[in-house]
Structure 1
Amino acid sequence: MDSSEVPEPSETKTDCDSQKSNYSQCYKNNYKTMDLTLQQRRETFLNEHKEKHSLVFDERRDLSELFEEYDCQTDESDMCDVEAMEVDVARPRKKIKFRMTMSEWFTQIPEDLSDNWLFKLCPLGKRRLVISHKGKTKCFNKFGHRLFKFASSLPGGSTRKTQKEGLTVLDCILNENTKTFFILDMLVWNSVSFLECEAELRLCWIRSRYEETPEMFSAYGKDTYQFNVLFDHPADIETIRSEIWQYNSQNEVNCDGLIFYHREAPYISGETPLVTWLKPFMLPERLNIEVPQEYERRKPPGYVNLESYIIYASERRKRRQLKKMDTEEIPMENN
Structure 2
Amino acid sequence: MVTAMMLKTYLEIINKLDGIVFIKRNCQVNERRHLKNNAHSHSMEIDWKKNETIVPNLESYELATSMMNSEWMLEKPEDIENWIAVLCPEGKRCCVIAQDNKTKSVNKYGTSLFHFPSLFPYGCHLPNNCPSHRKRTVLDCIYNFKIKKFYILDIIEWMGVPYTDFDAEFRFYFIQSKLSEIPGINEKSLKNTYPFELAPRMRTSELYIHLMEKNQYFHDHVELDGINFYYPESMYTPGDSPLMLWLKIFMIPEILHKPINDQLEQLYRPSNYVNIFEYIQNTKKKSRKNRRKKSTSSSCDTMEVDSMIEVEPEKDPAIGNDMCMEN
Q: Whose Rg is larger? A: 2
**CA-to-aligned-CA distance 1:161-206 (integer Å, 9 cap, x gap):** 3234441100001002111100000111122221100000000111
User: Which of 221, 224, 229 lines up with 1:260 in the alignment?
Assistant: 229
User: Which of 101, 104, 107 lines up with 2:71 in the alignment?
Assistant: 104
Q: Unpaired segments of 5 or more residues in structure 2?
A: 1-52, 303-327
Whole-Å separation in 1 of the counterparts to 2:101 and 2:191:
18
Question: Is the aligned partner of 1:314 residue 2:274?
Answer: no
Does structure 1 conserve the Cα–Cα contact (< 8 Å) formed by 2:117 and 2:192? Answer: no
What is the aligned partner in structure 2 of residue 293 from structure 1? 263
What is the aligned partner in structure 1 of residue 55 from structure 2? 72
User: Which of 199, 214, 222 lines up with 1:246 in the alignment?
Assistant: 214
Query: What is the CA RMSD across the aligned residues, in angstroms?
Result: 2.7
Q: Cα 1:240–1:230, aligned 2, differ >3 Å: closer, same or farther?
A: same
User: Which of 147, 152, 162 lines up with 1:183 in the alignment?
Assistant: 152
What is the aligned partner in structure 2 of residue 149 from structure 1? 115
Give the deviation of 1:211 after TM superposition: 2.6
Does structure 1 conserve the Cα–Cα contact (< 8 Å) formed by 2:215 and 2:263? Answer: no
Whole-Å separation in 1 of the counterparts to 2:92 and 2:60:
18
What is the aligned partner in structure 2 of residue 323 from structure 1? 293
1:273 maps to a residue whose letter is P
**CA-to-aligned-CA distance 1:93-141 (integer Å, 9 cap, x gap):** 99522321010001111111123x1111111111010000011101011
1:248 maps to a residue whose letter is Q
Question: Is the aligned partner of 1:125 residue 2:91?
Answer: yes
In the TM superposition, 1:1-335 aligns within 5 A as 71-72=54-55, 95-98=60-63, 99-115=66-82, 117-165=83-131, 166-221=135-190, 224-236=193-205, 239-244=206-211, 245-246=213-214, 248=216, 251-252=219-220, 253-287=222-256, 288-328=258-298
1:150 maps to a residue whose letter is F
Whole-Å separation in 2 of the counterparts to 1:268 and 1:129:
14
Secondary structure of residue in 2 paired with 1:219: coil
What is the aligned partner in structure 2 of residue 11 from structure 1? none
2:277 maps to a residue whose letter is E
Does structure 2 conserve the Cα–Cα contact (< 8 Å) formed by 1:137 and 1:151? Answer: yes
Does structure 1 conserve the Cα–Cα contact (< 8 Å) formed by 2:227 and 2:247? Answer: yes
**CA-to-aligned-CA distance 1:271-290 (integer Å, 9 cap, x gap):** 11010110011112112222
TM-score computed with the length of structure 2 as normaliser: 0.67
Give the deviation of 1:318 after TM superposition: 0.9
Secondary structure of residue in 2 paired with 1:170: strand
What is the aligned partner in structure 2 of residue 62 from structure 1? none
**Percent identity over paired residues:** 33
Give the deviation of 1:292 after TM superposition: 4.0
Does structure 1 conserve the Cα–Cα contact (< 8 Å) formed by 2:119 and 2:191? Answer: no
**Number of paired residues?**
242
